[in-house]
Amino acid sequence: MKGIAHFISGVAVASFCPWAVEAAQNGNPAFFILGAAAGVLPDTIDFKFYRFFYHHEISVEPDPNRLDPQPIADAVAAAVAEAAATGWPVRVKLATIRIGADNWRQYRVKIDPEAGEVRVQFGPVVSTGQVPQPGTLPANRPVGLAKLSAPVLQSYEPTYTVDIFDGPSFKFIRNQAGQVEIEFLPWHRNWSHSLTFGACLAGLASFWTWQAGVVVFGAHVLHVIEDQMGHMGTNLLPPFTKKRMPGLKIMHSGDAFPNFGCVWLCCLLIFWNLYAAIPEPLYRFSFVRLMLYAMIIPFAVFGVVRWLLVRADKGHPETLSTEWNV
């Protein structure tokens, strides 16, 4: 989920606590602010702090003036070979290629377990909004190809697009079966997204009041549950567990519709909880009626319209391509 979804989810958790609503009615929104902060805190820790201190044994920085994909493929294959031979984790960082103030050269890396190889190819120049710039696709686009010396096990997706801001990180580590497991963004969704860390945060908040601890823990747990809907998963109980539990793969974190649906549902729940706390409302309606008119019917209409548009487009919805070649 995006940050705004986690933020509003934390506010929604606070709205289910009677003491938070009562305090807000008396002019004190502290519990709502606390819920929002706890909802975004795990990603804030990872993206704003932890990733900058994470160590990488191999850092790959492509030459923007010489678009040669082979060194990138060789570096990834070498990391797999080192992890398989030594048994020690090998962390790799693929750097982005910035061109000017708002442009980036895109390239894609595919780690193919079935073929036992790594393939890399450069693509067009894209804006910070990831929009390809016309006429920037290289005329000659060789494919960098490197064979893997050990079997690999994917825990995420086989294709990785490298374009804007900070490049992706990987951790290669040999498992007991002799395979080299690939962890995508190993610094993300580990201890900061765990239930144990949430319990520690709740314990600290409880020094103020136990109600604050309940709000913090609830917002943190909901963040973890939302992230489990994706592909990467989370490490739920460190230090008792060492690896991330695979996600349910229902959605991607950047998918627009699930994020919008989550934000809208949370807004409706907040509205209902505040409405239910009004002693004498001017207009009365039920929760079922609110969900029917504000959620079910509009989303059903949207689904039908989208289905018609996809059908008119010969059954090909507009999605981000996950093919290894741009």
Is residue 318 pLDDT above 80, yes or no? no
pLDDT at 326: 39
Measure Cα distances from 114 to 138, 146, 171, 261, 278 in Å: 28, 14, 19, 36, 61
Residue 291 in tokens? 């969900």
Q: What does the pLDDT read at residue 321?
A: 41
The pLDDT, as a whole number, for residue 314 is 67
- Higher-pLDDT residue of 18, 140: 18
pLDDT tens for 190-228 read 999 999 999 999 999 999 999 999 999 999 999 999 999
3-state secondary structure at position 33: helix
C-alpha count within 13 angstroms, C-beta hemisphere, residue 124: 12
267-308: pLDDT as tens digits: 999 999 999 999 999 999 999 999 999 999 999 999 999 889
* Nearest residue to 89 via CA among 185, 168, 154, 180: 180
Are 273 and 15 in contact by the 8 Å Cβ rule? The answer is: yes
* pLDDT tens digits, one per residue of 60-74: 999 998 999 999 999
147 CB contacts (<8 Å, ≥6 apart)?
77, 116, 117
| Res. 322: pLDDT tops 60 | no
Distance CA 321, CA 106 (A): 13
Question: What's the pLDDT score for residue 315?
Answer: 56
Share of the chain above pLDDT 70, in %: 96
**Phi (first) and psi of residue 134, to 5 degrees:** -60, 140
